[in-house]
Structure 1
Amino acid sequence: MTGARASVYEAVLARRSYSKVTEEAPTTAEVERLLEAAATAADHAGLAPWRVIELRGRARERLGDALALAAANAGADADAAASQRSKPLRAELLLAVVVSYRESHKVERWEQEVAAAGVAHLLTLLLDDAGWGAMWRSGPHTRTPEVAAAHGLGADEALLGWIYVGGIPSGARRERHATVDLAERHTVLAAD
């Protein structure tokens, strides 16, 4: 294993989600630098079927209003709908990950969603490596018309969720993820 590969391996093992972050956040220039690297994610036919939308300040409040409206329109009671309003305020920066479907006779829509998700996952790794706390969140209202309108999504776009980004609180634990039972998750197809 080369040094570069060991570094990626260690970064993947070290990555953690932070449900609570401080008010610090990377600048737009920092986000763009990380996105440039995240854009190297696997992408069949090089369609780049994704985009990332930054939400800061009042934009997060408008998202909260859209989430509350979506919850109310889905039949939630007033308290449940109101609780949606504060969710985007958990971090100073939200990065909305959007799949932007492209016409293709080779690459199906599900594969374009996977490409966009790959960019999002690499972005969380890069944010972690740069010293930022991040957590990819979604929820029952992620793909509602109210939330799509709040993001200005086009007719051929869908929201995959948001990466909440901020500083890592002092004293936050960097525990290892629970290991998976590879006997249940990894098999080898017989050659016969």
Structure 2
Amino acid sequence: MKFFSDPVLDSMATRRSVSKVGPETPTDDELLRLLTAVTPVADHKALRPWRLIPLRGDDRMKLAEALDAAQGIDREPGEYNTKPFRAELLIAIVASPKEHPSVPVWEQHATAAGAGHLLELALWRAGWGVMWRTGLYANCPEVRTVHGLEDDELLMGWLYVGSIDDAFRKRMEESKRPGLDPRQFLGTMP
């Protein structure tokens, strides 16, 4: 379904989370290129209070082990937490606040979330499937340690990124699912 003639607005309006992505992923160079669309995120005082950590290959096993440790799970040899293996590329979104007298931490967290969402939109527009996942254990000590987080940083979740199955892409393109009624999001002052 097409909502806008403008391709960027239409891409935003038709964005969907793709829970099952394929094995192809953008290269680090492609990610760097897409980040040029992310860096203009609304950012009071230009503090850049966010960073991204790509996880590929063995990094996903380190995350699997950290998630199990955070949950107190001791698996049999050869068994592992499969969640980090739902995609070949995970991108950790980290809020990394900077001390500033006129920019509170909550506002810097909002900037980091905005950067994460802009990256999700940029990846979607570039043709990649993306699912932003979090979880109860994202900021447990074991998970924070494996990501190398500082005490004041917040792990906001991971973008699971990969290719989109052709059949699924076709279903999305042919979907007649209407967009949400935007009126529910506009209010008035009391």
* TM-score range for the pair, normalised by the shorter chain length: 0.7 to 0.9
Q: CA deviation at 1:6?
A: 2.8
**Other structure's SS at 1:95 match:** strand
Which whole-Å CA distance do the structure 2 matches of 1:169 and 1:132 have between them? Answer: 10
**Other structure's SS at 1:136 match:** strand
Q: What percentage of residue pairs aligned between the two structures are identical?
A: 44
Distance 1:46 1:184, change over 3 A: same
Aligned length: 181
**Other structure's SS at 1:18 match:** coil
The TM-score normalised by the length of structure 2 is 0.87
Which whole-Å CA distance do the structure 1 matches of 2:176 and 2:106 have between them? Answer: 31
1:13 aligned residue: 13
The TM-score normalised by the length of structure 1 is 0.86
Amino acid paired to 2:37: A
**Other structure's SS at 2:158 match:** strand
1:110 is the counterpart of 2:143: no
**Other structure's SS at 1:66 match:** helix
The gaps in structure 1 that reach 5 residues or longer are none
After superposition, the C-alpha distances for 1:73-122 in whole angstroms (9 at most, x for unaligned) are xxxx668xxx9811000000000000001001011011000000001001
1:85 is the counterpart of 2:81: yes
* Alpha carbons 1:71, 1:84 under 8 Å: kept: no
Distance 1:156 1:178, change over 3 A: farther
Amino acid paired to 1:12: M
The gaps in structure 2 that reach 5 residues or longer are none
Q: CA deviation at 1:189?
A: 1.9
2:32 aligned residue: 32
Structure (1/2) with the larger helix percentage: 1
Distance 1:15 1:140, change over 3 A: same
**Other structure's SS at 2:166 match:** coil
Amino acid paired to 2:95: V
Q: CA deviation at 1:176?
A: 6.6
